[in-house]
Amino acid sequence: MKIAFLNQFPNSAETQAYHSLRIAGERLGHEVVHCSHSAEVDACSPDFVLAPASTRPKLNDFPHYGVLHDPRETYLSERQFFNNLRTHDGWLALAGVMRRFARDVAFSIGRDQEVGVYYNSCQRLDHAAPLESILRERRLRIAYFGTNWDRRRARLFRMLSHEPGIAICGPRDAWRDIEPAAYCGAPPFDGHSVQAFYAECGAGLCLLSDKHFRDDVISNRVFEVSSAGALCIASAIPWLREHFGDSLYYIDQRLADPQLLQQILDARERIYADPAAALQRAAEARRIFEEKFSAEALLANAAAHHLRHSSRRQARLSEARQRYNPLISVIIRCGLQPATMVRRAVESISRQTYGRFDLILVRHHALDLSSITGAEWANIERIRVVESPGGNCSRSLWAGLHAIESGYFAILDDDDWLFSNHFEELFRPFPAAPQSRFFAFSGSITVEAEARVAMGSGFDNRHLVRYGLQASGRLEQIAGCIATNSFTASRDLLDEPLLADPEMDTAEDSYLILALMSQTTPRFSFAATSVNEVGHSGRISATAHPRRFEDLLTLHTRMSGRLHPSQGLRDAWSALREEWEHRPASMSTPGQSAGGTVVLGDNTFYLSTLEDAELRTVAEGIHIDGSRLNIGCGTLSRFRKTLTLRTPSVPWQYAAELRFKRPKAFSGDLLLRIEIAVRAGRTGLGLLAASGPDYLFRTPLRPRTEVQVVNIPIEDLDKAGPLIVQTWDEPAPAEMEIRRIRLLTRRDS
């Protein structure tokens, strides 16, 4: 098989994983191809795609399998990442909690609930660490590899780097704070060098982010160390204990930095104290890795999962078509774009895996369509040309609506196209008979002329722009959730009054969509299968059209009576996120609310766990002269004990930069504690770095009846900048009162 590995991050852990998978794939007879964006996926034309990044939705017409190696926090903190996850055809995971999460997601959107067993692991090696001689000569080094993108446990690594026999590797800029003698460079991500260095050192350290630790989600470091026959010192999580047993040396990642450092050093002493047992552990860990978790084993799992998934899908499709195969009229308005583009749209209809089609080509400008009408097309039973010369947007669309003769209809503009499973997803679960008052729609992908960056997903000219309905008070925004080419509706929704042309130059498709929605319950496919290409000549921006106001007034007037949408649009994402924010305090990750208290940063920070009687205040309040408020957000001059703030209506906009008071001379650890009452809306609270605009810590806060306490660990006061209060991710203001700001330290320090 040809397998595309979709990775937009250069010089990353995913790059290392690709090279390992490529080697493993060759051994299995598969070709693994690296793709950094959607154009390369199309050029590759793979059997299926491995999609390991939460930042990437499915953007190509090939089966995509989301690889879940991130914890749930990733998907339940950002709507877009959760939506990206749901666009995939299936999912692959190794950690138990993520496999359950994937099954729950699959159930929620009606997809195949089998989750494949896979992880971006490394390949088997034909050599091993010379561990016996390393231990005999007492030259064991503990290696740690990391790009350090999240700066986890910064103080621990500084402390660790001062110890002998420590080797820390990764990009130089990521490790500038450690002791130079411990820095060992950045081995290339080539599928060999990282494992070779573990073998040379004899031992490797595996630490997890707090989010991974809480969700029992492993790191590839365990596999890399074990594959090299080296000894692994790893965080004690249930998954590792279950699968690797006593073959690893476990440490308690929940400890404060000094205690955790000592456990790491103690593990090394245990190794030296019993070298025979250490050799047995390394051999056992390598055996477990090679049998169950090598790239060869897991890639074979992924390929087998794809074959099972595809076989079940084809069987369901075959049965569905035999039971009922609907005839669908597809209106294509054409005349502005060349016939080659119209042909691309028609080809996408011909490739559909479900349905039979009656094409209605509405020609509003002169265009030779003979190469299309004279050809034979699979799945297309008839092609008709309807003339609508010089007509405005609604006239040509309504000419097509009047020509509908089948039980269902859809609209496809001449510069758009559909994924081959578009109608398959819209009609799933497949009906056994004609459907009445049917309206189904998909998510939509936009293709631009030039690539741009979107949500940390690298450069691409394709982007997921519409995915499901979101609550809104404006009709055109509700209609904007559904692309013109993304829906299919039954003919019985087009009553005689609706078939009257509204004579609109813009927003005619929004009017039609809203009118159809008002008569039934829209059904979302949870797949993104319609593609809209933008930036072509001949198109005028709807918002800039001289008749835009009149068209919107027509839309709102027509929708203000019998067709006004009455159903409330429940925002399922917001409900899910709110439920996640109510999780128990023991599951709360840094930067999230739990039980009225929020702990930012490393929640194992020892000052955060102390009782009030064990802490003393070293400074309190803010410097009014050094603080700033955005216009309309509050008044600093009135601040005495309570500062009342209102954030702007723009997402991520600052409401205040507060310079908290500091002791004149202090060295050591501190805790910045803020007591805040959020009355309405979601706000963000964070601490900027003194050297620039980067956040050291940041968290969202939602409204609560009680005062919330936010604890921010500060290890170096000189590196801490102002406290920031801001709007969070939604265009809605928040109202709050900051009751108290204090700097605390241990009472006996």
From 32-46, 129-143, 390-404, 560-574, the region with the lowest mean pLDDT: 560-574
Collect all residues with Cβ–Cβ distance below 8 Å to 633 and sequence separation of at least 6.
645, 646, 647, 648, 655, 656
Average pLDDT over residues 316-330: 97
In a shared domain, residues 587 and 550: no
Q: What is the DSSP letter of 637?
A: G
Judge whether residue 285 has pLDDT over 80: yes
7 vs 56: CA distance, rounded Å = 9
Judge whether residue 383 has pLDDT over 70: yes
Q: Which domain holds residue 278?
A: 131-292
**Nearest alpha carbon to residue 650 among 728, 571, 725:** 728
Take residue 518 and report the two structure tokens written for it. 């008002």
- DSSP secondary structure, 475-510, as one string: HHHHHTTS-GGGEEEEGGG--TTTTS----SSSHHH
In a shared domain, residues 664 and 551: no
Average pLDDT over residues 388-399: 85
β-strands 735-746, 643-646 pairing: antiparallel
In a shared domain, residues 153 and 275: yes
- DSSP secondary structure, 309-320, as one string: HHHHHHHHHHHH
In a shared domain, residues 83 and 136: no
The pLDDT tens digits of the residues spanning 469-515 come to 877 667 777 888 899 999 999 999 999 999 999 999 888 999 999 99
The 3-state secondary structure of 586-600, one letter per residue = HHCCCCCEECCEEEC
In a shared domain, residues 491 and 630: no
Query: What pLDDT does residue 604 have?
Result: 56
Average pLDDT over residues 233-258: 95
3 state DSSP class of 695: strand
Domain boundary among 117, 148, 171: 117
Q: Is residue 576 part of a domain?
A: no
pTM (2 d.p.): 0.80
Collect all residues with Cβ–Cβ distance below 8 Å to 700 and sequence separation of at least 6.
591, 592, 593, 682, 683, 684, 728, 729
The pLDDT tens digits of the residues spanning 214-228 come to 999 999 999 999 999
Q: Is residue 189 part of a domain?
A: yes
Find out whether 60 and 49 touch, Cβ atoms under 8 Å: yes
The pLDDT tens digits of the residues spanning 51-74 come to 998 888 999 999 999 999 999 988
**Nearest alpha carbon to residue 603 among 586, 616, 615:** 586
CATH number of the domain residue 683 falls in: 2.60.120
In a shared domain, residues 619 and 547: no
What residues does 160 pair with on adjacent strands?
none
In a shared domain, residues 89 and 136: no
CATH number of the domain residue 529 falls in: 3.90.550.10
Q: How many domains, the chain?
A: 4
3 state DSSP class of 568: coil
Take residue 596 and report the two structure tokens written for it. 């009225």
Q: Is residue 622 part of a domain?
A: yes
> Hey, which of 81-95, 664-678, 686-700 has the most confident mean pLDDT?
81-95
The pLDDT tens digits of the residues spanning 439-477 come to 999 999 999 877 665 444 567 889 898 998 877 667 777
371 vs 374: CA distance, rounded Å = 6
In a shared domain, residues 389 and 538: yes
Average pLDDT over residues 642-654: 86
Count Cα atoms within 13 angstroms, Cβ side, for 614.
9
- Cα–Cα distances in Å, from 53 out to 56, 82, 294? 6, 12, 20
CATH number of the domain residue 168 falls in: 3.40.50.2000
Domain boundary among 87, 117, 147: 117
Q: Is residue 567 part of a domain?
A: no
Q: Is residue 301 part of a domain?
A: no
CATH number of the domain residue 63 falls in: 3.40.50
In a shared domain, residues 349 and 479: yes
Average pLDDT over residues 259-276: 96
Q: Is residue 297 part of a domain?
A: no
In a shared domain, residues 151 and 111: no
In a shared domain, residues 211 and 136: yes
In a shared domain, residues 593 and 728: yes
Give the pLDDT band (50/70/90) at residue 595.
very low
Q: Is residue 564 part of a domain?
A: no
Q: Is residue 658 part of a domain?
A: yes
Judge whether residue 531 has pLDDT over 80: yes
